[in-house]
Amino acid sequence: MEMSFSPEQLAFRDEVRSWLASNIPPHIKAKAEMDAYFEHHEVMEWHKVLHAKGWVAPHWPKQFGGPGLDATCRFILTEELELAGTPFLSPFGLVMVGPLIMQFGTEAQKARYLPKIVSGDEVWCQGYSEPNSGSDLASLALRAEDDGQGNFILNGQKTWTTYAQHAAWIFLLARTDASAKKQAGISFILCPMDAPGVSVRPTLTTGGTPAFCDTFFENVVVPKENLVGPQNGGWTLAKALLGHERTLIAAVGASTRAIGRVKRIARATRVGDGALLDDPVFRAKIARLEVKLEALRMTNYRALAGAQGGHAPGPESSILKIRGSEINQQCFELAMEVMGHDSLEWFNEPGTVPAIEQWVPSSFNYTRATTIYGGSNEIQRNIIAKLILGLPSL
């Protein structure tokens, strides 16, 4: 029983920290200080910097261009990046489709797709949700019909295809057998975004950022070699992601940063004769949230120790998404509360509110997504009720 990092792991953490201290480009560092929204070109610029260092895909094995780190060092690297506030890299290639191609793809698919995910030469987006298929994902309607000449013909619409406007590829779940029962007729297909018949309509999030998109498919021809895994076996791939390591989903690093921001704003805010941070009522509020975050951090460590030991994610992993997303939202609620009138800010000229506060209102809005994406927290609860607590269904 040991809850500290080993000397080797601490040495690795120092290495990451000192590398970060001198390798974040100044304009990215300036935005990181504010936890500002990063434009796509900035995200990709940071992707290239990390790629040059060999750290862009912490979770990938060495043979596919990963750094070959163990579970704990992967976690340390990722958390240090989060704590530094550097751009959050697009997860669709690195975290989602890449590992799925490694697990289910052919050798040819691995050779074709994986190197360009790591290098950042090809950016991916995710085609899962549809306007009428959210939590009930298996009801999806986008059709992929076999044209008898070695192609699928795609027709339909995907939504929440985050950053589709920047993507070279989309991985999507499509219905390849309309007669089969829901999950049984779905396939996992890769489609180039420049294929004729693909069109993208970007939409703003409530955070005022251009992250979301609708993506339309009209008689899009995709060769059948773009199928990953067996035809009509796509649901297995969709579920496989759930079995992957979940120590990152808790967003402990991001919430740690957010609480730090709350404290810094509160220290600079006067109430009565002193700082808001010294107000006992307010201090207790921060303390309560930080206690919850620390208990989550410890739960994350439990999950991490399990992963390091080579175990499948245990019960402790299942709570990380639920509690991590709730705490992340609460951090921004508290930041808004500290800001008082400044929390009314909405994309005004710099200087309207202190720089430290400038991006909080946008994040406060956008973080409402955290309890929804990746399977809403209600769906997570359904899963835990059934698979862990063994409660009956109707």
Partner 1 sequence: MDFELSADQKMIVETAASFVKKELPLERMRRMREDATGWSRDVWKQMGELGWLGIMHPDTVGGFGGSFVDAALILERLGVNLVGEPFAASAVVGAMAVRTGSAEQAERWLAPMIAGETSLALAWAERGGRFDAHRVATRAEKVGGGYRLRGEKVWVLNGHAADQLVVSARTGGAEGDREGVSLFVVDGDAPGVTCATVKTMDGQRAARITLDCVVDADRRLGDEGQATAELERVLDHGAAAAIAEGYGAMRASLDMTVEYLKTREQFGVKIGVFQALQHRAVDMFVETELAKSAMLMSAIKVASPDPVDRMRAVSVAKAQLAMSARYVSQQSIQLHGGVGVTDEHDIGLYFKRLHVLGTLYGDEEFHLARFASLPTFERA
Q: How far is the CB of 1 from partner 1 (least distance, A)?
A: 5
Q: How far is the CB of 16 from partner 1 (least distance, A)?
A: 16
Give the residue with the Cβ less far from partner 1, 21 or 391.
Answer: 391
DSSP state of 203: E
82 is catalytic: no
C-alpha closest to that of 163 among 94, 225, 216, 209: 209
Q: How far is the CB of 250 from partner 1 (least distance, A)?
A: 11
Pairing of strands 270-271, 227-228: unpaired
Give the residue with the Cβ less far from partner 1, 201 or 263.
Answer: 263
Structure tokens at 294: 């620390």
Give the residue with the Cβ less far from partner 1, 32 or 102.
Answer: 32
List 245, 290, 345, 357, catalytic entry: 245
Q: How far is the CB of 58 from partner 1 (least distance, A)?
A: 16
Which residues contribute to the site for partner 1 (CB under 8 A)?
1-5, 72, 259-261, 263-264, 267, 280, 283-284, 286-288, 290-292, 294-296, 298-299, 301-302, 304-305, 308-309, 315-316, 319, 322-323, 378, 381-382, 384-385, 388-394
Q: How far is the CB of 24 from partner 1 (least distance, A)?
A: 20
d(CA 54, CA 64) in angstroms, rounded, equals: 11
Distances (CA, A) of 203 to 40, 135, 160: 15, 20, 9
Give the residue with the Cβ less far from partner 1, 142 or 303.
Answer: 303
Structure tokens at 90: 């697009």
d(CA 216, CA 386) in angstroms, rounded, equals: 35
d(CA 31, CA 59) in angstroms, rounded, equals: 26
Strands, E, within 181-311: which ranges?
186-192, 198-203, 212-223, 227-228, 270-271, 274-275
Give the residue with the Cβ less far from partner 1, 51 or 261.
Answer: 261
Known catalytic residues are: 245
